[in-house]
Each structure stands twice: as structure tokens, then as C-alpha cells.
Amino acid sequence: TSQLSQFMDQNNPLSGVTNKRHLSALGPGGLSRDRASMEVRDV
């Protein structure tokens, strides 16, 4: 990621929540990219 996007993430409280949700959903025991429906991906 660029420095600008990292800077924006630091100032956006929702970005951290979104990133954690994405990691937890795709992490161990979570959804795989193959099994994830378009509804799940479009969060």
C-alpha cells in the first residue's frame, strides 16, 4: 500500500474494523475465497 493510503487508514476508525473483519473471515476456520458467495464478499 502507498503511504497515502496508510495515512488515510490511520485517520479512518472504520478501516481498522474492516481490515480485522476481512482477516477474521478469511482466516483459519473462516470462509475461503472459493466458498465465499458474492453476498459475503460484498460486506
Q: DSSP alpha helices (H): ranges in the chain?
A: 3-11, 13-26, 38-41
Angle between helical axes of 3-11 and 13-26 (0-180°, round to 10): 100
C-alpha cell at 38: 458474492
- State the CB neighbour count (10 A cutoff) for residue 9: 15
What is the pLDDT at residue 29? 53
Read off the pLDDT of residues 4-40 as tens digits, 9 standing for 90 and up: 555 555 556 665 555 555 555 555 555 555 555 545 4
**pLDDT of the residue at 41:** 47
pLDDT confidence of residue 43: 46
Residues 6+ apart with CB under 8 A from 42: none
pLDDT of residue 6: 52
